Structure 1
Amino acid sequence: MFRSDFKTVLLLGAVLGLVGGLLFGFSGRDQTAVVVWTMGVVPVLVSLAVEILRSLRRGDVGLDIVAALSMTAALVFGETLAAAVIAVMYAGGTFLESFAEGRARREMRDLLSRVPRTAMRYMDGELEEVPLEDIKPDDLLLIRQGDVVPVDGQIATETAFVDASALTGESLPVRLSRGASAMSGSTNAGEPFDLLATHRARESTYAGIVRLVEAAQRSKAPMARMADRWSLGFLAVTLLIAGAAWGATGDPIRAVAVLVVATPCPLILAVPVALVAGVSRAAHFGILIKGARPLEAMARVHTLILDKTGTLTDGRPRIVSIRCHNGFGENDVLRLAASLDQASKHPVAQAVVLAAKARGLDLFVPTEVSEIPGEGVRGRVDGRSVTLGGEGFVSRHLGRHPEASSDEMAGSVLVAVSIDRQLAGHLVMADPLRQGTNALLDRLRQNGLSRILLATGDRFDVASKVTEGLRLDGIHADLTPDQKVLLVLTERQNSPVMMVGDGVNDAPALAAANVGVAMGARGAAASSEAAGVVLLVDRIDRLGTGIEIAKGSHRIALQSVVAGIGLSVAGMVAAAFGYLSPVQGAILQEVIDVAVILNALRALRIAPQDTAPTVPTIPLRE
């Protein structure tokens, strides 16, 4: 924040210096005008010198050297107006770049926003709320419905129902029995349960993932800015022409004029303007790009690594088919099941209710409801006895052995429904691919992505079944967060990599990639913090839109640079032959600036390829 404010003050000082000097000059107070122009230039020049020293320590030779040389030469040889104009242009360019980056990288403490700060601990027969760091192994904790598990531990009640999708990639909640391990960062999707802590918070799964993110961000070398990649050649050409003009004529003013014309405003201004415009255009489509660097990186990627749950899939169970038995119809089975499920908070139950509402079915008010967490629910609906839940639960209610479901799809869940003690049907719940995924992958390949991989923490059989028919170059399943990071780093050795994910387990890989893209609409806070790009709408097709905008902005910036540098070189040659004074060179440079900025602003009108809207999905919670 301080850096952004400093650049704002620097720009205001340069503008006030230029305008104030012009006012004094027009009123005939030339000496005062020189002093005011100098006062506006010196802070910019000092700031520039500091940036140059920092760059040289890193081994970088950037555009700052040309700007510093032109301002210094103009001041030394009395061309203070030209120096003031250059100062305004340079300060304006750095301000725009800072504005584009915005709050690209907040402090890593924000990453922990999803982690609970306190937990409910049993102490002397009572519950007390204690800070997370006070929890010790063997402490007994109460995990309420909807709570995030604060530390790794073991289930201390008969059963628990947890959603570990943010950690493992398994899209459907799982039932855990007494003694089973529960990972920190998973969510209680059922009734309250007790947890026996086995680790301290700093030693738990989620804390380990946070450390992975921090390490990945520290180790990632930033991609060079487009402007920096042009700087060394432009600097050499500038010094050659300026030195030749001075050496051939013995007139230092000609060298000053060359340096003034050579001030790399097309690079300093055109690149950030085009990229800021691209960032703004992307935001119009619900794509938050955290600055110019992620936009440039997005335009240059060739390898895409995709998470499965919540990225290629909705990350929420929905009914994919209804199997009816004993003469019952689909709508009858769904209506009665959904009516009873209105009394349950189970995620699958809520999906059943919303599926019935989506069909326009009128639901009844259930009575005499009893629910066994993690097993099923029974009650009366419209005068009929209804039971639904797992195959074993319903079969025991009917007094028979559960039937094997050999045709069950990998990764799916069967919800059995009995009506009046007859098996009425099965609701097949699954987390299928988002509609239009194949078209999206084709679109991405058309936009230059040559390698597309799947990386998931889910089982290989589930991943391969769900992605069957997709044109993927590889499937990597059963991955832990550190294995995802290793995959990203391996692929980065061959080409720039984009990683797309939404879970806590994706955050380290998002940080390690050249550009990370988070599904921010429903994803974990950790992934949104670690990523350089966040999709604010729950539509994977926005990934293609973002890449098209990034490539378009990058192309427009490049066009502006080539045109601007070409015009600048022509002006430098004219100045070398004495056709332009330093002030005239500064004015010419302003004309060039206006031209390249107007061209750069075309990025605001980039029209990405239209995509079909994503089919609405059934959310777990309203």
Structure 2
Amino acid sequence: MHAYQHGGVPEQKTPIWSAVRLNRAVLILTVVGIVTHFALIPVSISVPVFGHAAMDWPLFAVIALGGGVLIFEIVQKALARDFGADFLAVIAFVTGVVLGEYLAAALIILMLSGGQVLEAFAMRKASSALNALADRMPRVAHRKDGENITDISLDDIVVGDLIAIFPHDTAPVDGVVVDGHGAMDESYLTGEPFVVAKAPGASVLSGAINGDAVLVIRAERLSSESRYAQIMQVMQEAEQKRPKIRRIGDQIGAWFAPFALLVAFIAWYLSGDSVRFLAVLVVATPCPLLIAIPITIMSAISMAARRGIVISDPTVLERLPTCKTAIFDKTGTLTYGRPELVEVLPASGHGANEVLRLAASLERYSKHPLATAVLAAAETRKLALGDVARVSEKPGQGLVGVVDGQEIAVTHRKKLIASDPAMAEILPPDASGLECVIMIDGAYGATLRFRDSPRADGRNFVGHLGPVHNFNKVMLLSGDRASEVSHLSKLLGIDESLASQSPEQKVEIVRRETALAPTLFMGDGINDAPALAVATVGIAFGKHSSVTAEAAGAVIPESSLQAVDELFHISMTMRRILLQSVIGGMVLSIFAMGFAAFGYISPVAGAVLQEGIDVIAIVNALRLALAGNIRADLVGDEKQIS
């Protein structure tokens, strides 16, 4: 199976004549046929062709070819017991053909094919983020065999291959550095605006952009299994998910279709005129359901993307306004996730600056949040970093490497005490806040303590959730110590907080709360994926892993509470505009059905009138896509969409 083609796009085996292309061809044929029909009107009376007016033959071609394609698609849905909004249009089309109202039948085809092409266009526009990701990937990889370097397809990479990554190139596969020292930009995954240093032993993620030095990595995964491929797959699957809002549209169409048929039959029965039956069905064709809903959804996704919000599951746009309980992880969501080093407690025989220099030298090659704090402290103290070799950072095992000939390990208190209970007597007393332990050549070297500051807008954000967005409960869950969590809760005005919670415990708590009321869970993506998945709506800060992107319904790479508030308002505005378009369009259709039932609207006039109703619904649906601003309660100078 090919992982990528044409710059990284996951391969999709699409028939030459796909449904989208067929509908586009039908639309073009229909437009040409209708235009030709009107062009032939002057000569139709004097020049009959095979017993029919010349102007009717273009319509026959439209009905035979275009109508056949659309009927086939909708019959397939009917066989699957999917009687959606477009089923009524097919009944109107068949009735028009039987009654000889060929222009009305052709206009129905125009409505159906136009709506489907427009929906496909909207979906393709929503794929722009996926296309942008695809463009990042290289077309070939540089395999190193001795002194020779050969360009190969990404599909030809096997585990164990040595791959050279040239300056400013993109890593084609996940791997480990075996030769070279440099730095790589992994911000698309981590959401952090800094690069990560690389040395032999350091891991490399596919999609990361290399700096100025050549790096040679050993492939650890196939390209189809790499981190980047997983992210691409998650985004593809998210685009293919059918939003619940669209299912609501189908439900509305399911009751509206029988209602329209009933009105049409009554009009036919009371008047004895079968044309009225057709006229009612033509104006009743619920195109606002067929067109306005996908446009509104895609417009909301586009608006969110412009605000730096990635919607991986469109159903969050419907569900978010219904949430009543907000549950937050602590680090990286309500705090900045950028801890600062506040204290160095060296062991006897070690100086604070020397231990910090050794730790910072090694932390250059780590993506752990505390690494940035250690490096910033070393830079502030103007410490010269040492040479590093044999770097290793396995999940849960800490960071290990050799710095200036000394074996340095950056680990944590629980792991040390679990492996050697005697360490409990050596380590300094436990305290609130974050910490890590430095081991030098297997012996205790120092304890580093950190503090993570709450977000400046955190209290305002938490405080406005109830009054503005109708949340009844706000909770804080964290794996950190009780003193740290309790302190943050008081600062932000959160009444209920739970500390020292494992990922499994978080899942149980979120599941329990979701059973009571719809929940919103926000996490920074580290160990939060299970809780994100079980909540009604999951919002992840940053892009720490493909698992997080799959579990969360929305991802905010810039980790901004203002962006979360903007997402609230986008979803609320989308819901309002959607209901305006659908209900407003159907109310207009019902009025038109009344006029058609009494004989004041012909089938052709009804088709034109329905097109006018469609335009109104579409224009209203596009308001969200065309709007430049969205109101955020945390920033008062932006305009609200009206």
**In the alignment, what sits opposite 2:288?**
266
Please, which of 585, 588, 591 is the counterpart of residue 567 of structure 1? 588
Which of 83, 106, 109 is the equivalent residue of 1:84? 106
Alpha-carbon spacing, 1:433–1:228, altered in 2? closer, same or farther (3 Å): farther
Structure 1, unaligned stretches of length 5 or more? 121-130, 137-147, 152-165, 168-181, 188-198, 326-332, 380-387, 393-400, 417-422, 614-622
Q: Does 2:42 match 1:18? A: no
Partner letter of residue 558 of structure 2?
A: V
SS in 2 for 1:236: helix
Task: Find the aligned partners of 2:459 and 2:117 in 1 and give their Cα distance.
Answer: 41
How far 1:508 sits from its partner (Å)? 5.9
Alignment counterpart, residue 554 of structure 1, candidates 565, 570, 575 = 575
- AA matched with 2:101: E
Which residue identity lines up with residue 589 of structure 1 in the other structure? Q
Alignment of 1:441-456 (within 5 A): 441-445=462-466, 446-452=468-474
Distance 1:578 1:200, change over 3 A: closer
The structural deviation recorded for 1:612 is 5.0
Q: Which has the higher contact order (CA 8 A, sep 6+)?
A: 1
Asked whether the equivalents of residues 305 and 500 of structure 1 are also in contact (C-alpha less than 8 Å), the reply is yes
Structure 2 partner of 1:477: 501
1:159 paired residue number: none
Contact kept, 8 Å, 2:358 with 2:403, in 1: the verdict is no
Paired residue total: 550
CA distance in 1, matches of 2:620, 2:109: 22
Distance 1:349 1:200, change over 3 A: closer
Kindly indicate whether the alpha-carbon contact (under 8 Å) linking 2:85 and 2:286 is maintained by their aligned counterparts in 1: yes
Between 1:231-240 and 1:462-471, the stretch displaced more is 462-471
Counterpart in the other structure of 1:611: 634
Q: CA deviation at 1:231?
A: 1.4
- Given the alignment, which residue of 246, 249, 264 partners 2:271? 249
Residue 402 and residue 19 in structure 1: after superposition, are their counterparts in 2 closer, same or farther (change >3 A)? farther
Paired residue for 2:249? 227
User: Do the aligned partners of 2:503 and 2:530 also contact (CA within 8 Å) in 1?
Assistant: no
Aligned match of 2:317 in 295, 301, 305?
A: 295
Relative to 1, partners in 2 of residues 1:280 and 1:295: Cα closer, same or farther, differing over 3 Å? same
Residues 330-380 of structure 1: per-residue CA shift (max 9 Å, x gap): xxx99x9789958972555653554687xxx7x75x5x865788599899x
Match of 1:65 among 87, 98, 103: 87
- Contact 1:452/1:474 (CA < 8 Å) preserved in 2? no
Deviations 1:407-461 (A, max 9, x none): 7323344899xxxxxx9x99742444433233323444422444555566x4564
Q: Which amino acid aligns with 1:601?
A: L
- Rate the CA distance shift 1:478–1:292 in 2: closer, same or farther, 3 A: closer
Residue 457 of structure 2 aligns with which residue?
436
Contact 1:38 1:75 in 2 (8 A): no
Task: Provide the rounded CA distance (Å) in 1 between the counterparts of 2:330 and 2:306.
Answer: 26
SS at structure 1 position matched to 2:434: coil
Please list the CA deviations of residues 145-196 of structure 1 after superposition, one character each: whole Å capped at 9, or x if unmatched. Answer: xxx9x99xxxxxxxxxxxxxx99xxxxxxxxxxxxxx9x99x9xxxxxxxxx
Query: Residue in 2 aligned with 1:318?
Result: 339
SS in 2 for 1:429: strand
2: CA distance, partners of 1:268 / 1:584: 20
Q: Deviations over 1:27-82 (max 9, x none)?
A: 64894543433444556544544554554566543212112112222222222222
Of 77, 94, 116, 2:116 maps to 94
Contact 1:74–1:82 (Cα < 8 Å) also in 2? yes
Check conservation: 1:460, 1:477, Cα contact below 8 A.
Answer: no
Query: Aligned with 1:607: secondary structure?
Result: coil
Equivalence map 1:302-451=2 (5 Å): 302-315=324-337, 317-319=338-340, 321=342, 345=364, 347=366, 348=370, 350-354=372-376, 370=386, 405-406=428-429, 408-413=431-436, 428-445=449-466, 446-451=468-473
Written as runs of structure 1 = structure 2, the 5 A alignment for 1:101-250 is 101-102=123-124, 223-225=244-246, 226-250=248-272
Residue 495 of structure 1, CA deviation: 5.2
Q: Secondary structure at the match of 2:584?
A: helix
Name 1:192's counterpart in structure 2. Answer: none
Does the 8 Å contact 1:62/1:228 carry over to 2? yes
Q: Deviation of residue 501 (structure 1)?
A: 4.2
Q: Would the aligned equivalents of 1:510 and 1:517 in 2 still touch at CA under 8 Å?
A: yes
The 2-side partners of 1:463 and 1:16 are apart by: 70
Range 498-507 or range 256-265, more displaced: 498-507
* Deviation (angstroms), 1:557: 1.5
**By how many angstroms is 1:601 displaced?**
3.0
CA shift for structure 1 position 548: 0.8
Q: CA offset at residue 544 of structure 1?
A: 1.6
Partner residue of 2:215? none
Q: Which residue of the partner structure matches residue 199 of structure 2?
A: none
* Structure 2 counterpart SS, 1:468: helix
**What is the aligned-residue RMSD (CA, Å)?**
6.6
- Give 1:576's aligned residue: 597
Equivalent residue in structure 2 for 1:591, among 612, 617, 624:
612
Paired with 2:528 and 2:307, the residues of 1 have a C-alpha distance of 23
Partner of 2:180: none
Following TM superposition, by how much is the alpha carbon of 1:581 offset from its aligned partner in structure 2, in angstroms? 0.6
Q: Which amino acid in structure 2 is aligned with residue 18 of structure 1?
A: I
1:556-576, Cα deviation, whole Å (9 max, x unpaired):
110222222111111101110
* Alpha-carbon shift at residue 87 of structure 1 (Å): 2.4
Native 8 Å contact 1:70 1:259 kept in 2: yes
CA contact (8 A) 1:507 1:527 kept: yes
Contact 1:318/1:352 (CA < 8 Å) preserved in 2?
no
**Secondary structure at 1:609 match in 2:** coil
What is the distance in 2 between the residues matched to 1:46 and 1:463? 68
- Give the deviation of 1:592 after TM superposition: 2.2
Question: Following the alignment from structure 2 to structure 1, what is the Cα–Cα distance between the partners of residues 329 and 65?
Answer: 48
CA distance in 2, matches of 1:133, 1:241: 64
**3-state SS of the aligned residue for 2:299?**
helix
Structure 1 partner of 2:97: 75
What's the CA shift for 1:578?
A: 0.6
- In the alignment, the residues of structure 1 paired with residue 278 and residue 258 of structure 2 have an alpha-carbon distance, to the nearest angstrom, of 16
**Aligned equivalents of 2:311 and 2:43: distance in 1?**
47
In 2, are the aligned partners of 1:279 and 1:291 still within 8 Å (CA)?
no
One-letter code of the match for 2:305? A
Q: Does the 8 A contact of 2:361 with 2:386 survive in 1? A: no
Q: Which whole-Å CA distance do the structure 2 matches of 1:20 and 1:345 have between them?
A: 70
Distance 1:473 1:411, change over 3 A: closer
Letter in 2 for 1:598: V
Distance (whole Å) between structure 1 residues aligned to residue 465 and residue 582 of structure 2: 27
Superposed, 1:531-542 pairs within 5 Å as 531-542=552-563
Equivalents in 2 of 1:477, 1:502: separation in Å?
15
Distance 1:562-1:454 versus aligned 2 partners, 3 A rule: same
Query: What percent identity do the matched residue pairs reach?
Result: 30
1:281–1:21 distance in 2 versus 1, CA, 3 Å: farther
Output one character per residue of 1:95-150: Cα deviation in whole Å (capped at 9) or x when no partner.
3333444487999xx99x99xxx9x9xxxxxxxxxx999889xxxxxxxxxxx9x9
Code of the aligned partner of 1:550: S
CA distance in 1, matches of 2:428, 2:434: 13
For residues 159 and 401 of structure 2, the distance between their equivalents in structure 1, rounded to whole angstroms, comes to 31
Determine helix, strand or coil for the equivalent of 1:538.
Answer: coil
Shift of 1:239: 1.1
User: Is this contact kept in 2: 1:253–1:582, CA < 8 A?
Assistant: yes
| SS state at 1:503 partner | coil
Matches of 1:280 and 1:512 in 2, distance apart?
Answer: 26
